[in-house]
Structure 1
Amino acid sequence: MTVRKLQQGRGWAFSLAVPIVKPTLLSIASRTWIDGEKIPAVGGCIVVFNHISHIDPLLSAHFVYDHGRLPRYLAKSGLFKNKALSKFLRSAGQIPVERLSRNAVGAFDAAVNAVRAGECVVVYPEGTLTRDPDLWPMIGKSGAARIALETGCPVIPVGQWGAHEVLPPYTTRPRLFPRKRIVMKAGDPVDLTDLLTRPRSTETINAATARIMAALVAVVEDLRGEKAPAERFDPRKAGLRQIGNPRKQDRA
């Protein structure tokens, strides 16, 4: 496992969080980091992860931080309603997202600006925790693809496995004993070169999204030693339009 030194100042938010969060995570799970050096040491980039647990953001931050980058997230706008938490999140460079609203465009612009400023932006391209019965990545949303096409930045897929053993999806009670094992592996940058000069049409964005998801699924398959289903789970087809609760049915 290669650990890379941080190349930028942490700021007060990360300086406060890292000494608390890292030891806590190490106490509940061992970690195996694989090929994290594929995350660029400097310069704007997007790192995409599969999403299997509410604890994922802490673990993915651990992975990215251990490889010399400060992670910037597209975070749910609801987290910013608390003044103290909002101050902390904004100081840590996190980007509020108001889903299904006009302000989502502002989040896209903020993410593009962050990448252009040389930041490492973390995206969960599924948009929410997976609802696939076997925890495979679902169909992807277009956010990561659109940011990549707009900026020309590298997109690094990172597959992870084990977080669901610590905190199963859509639950609130962690399973701390016995100590679990978390594995994360970075893949090669997704090749979008031929798409960068095309018009930003739906076809181009869908093609980029498909490549990003295929690369991510391939890394997860490698970690799990299994083949993913030929057809990815689609929450809308399953009548699960509501993002926060898998039991709420689509009333549209």
Structure 2
Amino acid sequence: MTVRKLQQERGWAWNLAVPIIKPLLLATTKRTWIDGERVPATGGCLVIFNHLSHVDPLTAAHFVYDHGRLPRYLAKSGLFRNKALGGFLTAAGQIPVERLSKNAVGAYDAAVAAVRAGECVVVYPEGTLTRDPALWPMTGKSGAARIALETGCPVIPVGQWGAQELLAPYTKTPHLFPRKRITMKAGAPVDLADLAALERTPAVVQQATDRIMAAVTALVEEIRGETAPAERYDPRRSGVRPTGNPHRTDKTPKTHKKDTA
């Protein structure tokens, strides 16, 4: 497992977070990092993950950090409403996203600016935890593809597995012991060069999105040693709510209605 030394200045938020979070992850997980050196050591890039658990932003950050980069996430805007947490996330370079809103364009602009400034931006193109019954990657949203086509930056797919054992989807109680095996495998950059030269029609953006999701899915297949369904799960076609707990019903008591995706 190759580990690359961080070259960037961390800033106060990272200086506070790393000594707290990294030892906790080291104590509760076993890590298999594969081909992480494919994450560029410098320069703007996108790193694309499948989304299994509310804890996997921490394990994904561990993977990126171990390969010499500070990850900048597209994070749901609700996390920024708390003044203290919002200030911390902003200081750590995270980008708020108002999902299912026309205001999401602001996050796109911020992500493009971050990539052009040489930052490593992490994107979960599914937009929320996978709703696939077997936890395979779902259909992707267009944000990652649009950022990639606009900037021409390297797009590094990463397949991951194991975080759902640490914290199952839409649960609040982690299973810390025994330590859980977290496996992440980075792939070669997704080739979008032919699409970047074309007008960015919805069809072109969809092709780019499909390539990104296909690359991530192939890596998850390698890790799991299984074959993903021929057709990726689409929540819209399945009538599943786009965000929040898909198992929640309108009869769920209000005390459990907080959107956690």
Q: Distance in 2 between matches of 1:66 and 1:242?
A: 32
Q: What is the aligned partner in structure 2 of residue 31 from structure 1?
A: 31
Q: What is the aligned partner in structure 1 of residue 111 from structure 2?
A: 111
Q: What is the aligned partner in structure 1 of residue 169 from structure 2?
A: 169
CA apart distance, 1:151: 0.2
Instruction: State how 1:42-191 maps to structure 2 within 5 Å.
Output: 42-191=42-191
Whether the 8 Å CA contact 1:130–1:138 is kept in 2: the answer is yes
Q: What is the aligned partner in structure 1 of residue 11 from structure 2?
A: 11
**Aligned to 2:74, what secondary structure does the other structure show?**
strand
| Structure 1 spans left out of the alignment, 5+ residues | none
TM-score (norm 1): 0.97
| Structure 2 spans left out of the alignment, 5+ residues | 251-261
CA apart distance, 1:249: 6.4
Q: Distance in 2 between matches of 1:100 and 1:149?
A: 21
Deviations 1:40-80 (A, max 9, x none): 00000000001001001000000000000000000010000
Distance 1:249 1:203, change over 3 A: farther
Deviations 1:141-172 (A, max 9, x none): 11100000000001000011110111011111
Q: Is 1:232 aligned to 2:232, yes or no?
A: yes
Q: Distance in 2 between matches of 1:144 and 1:36?
A: 20
Q: Distance in 1 between matches of 2:245 and 2:11?
A: 35
Q: Distance in 1 between matches of 2:186 and 2:11?
A: 26
Counterpart residue identity of residue 128, structure 1 = T
TM-score (norm 2): 0.94
Runs of 4+ in 1 over 4 A off after TM superposition: none
Q: Count residues with an aligned counterpart.
A: 250
Instruction: State how 1:173-252 maps to structure 2 within 5 Å.
Output: 173-248=173-248
Q: Distance in 1 between matches of 2:145 and 2:249?
A: 28
Whether the 8 Å CA contact 1:142–1:205 is kept in 2: the answer is yes
**Aligned to 2:7, what secondary structure does the other structure show?**
coil
**Aligned to 2:213, what secondary structure does the other structure show?**
helix
- Aligned-residue identity in percent: 74
Q: Distance in 2 between matches of 1:83 and 1:139?
A: 34
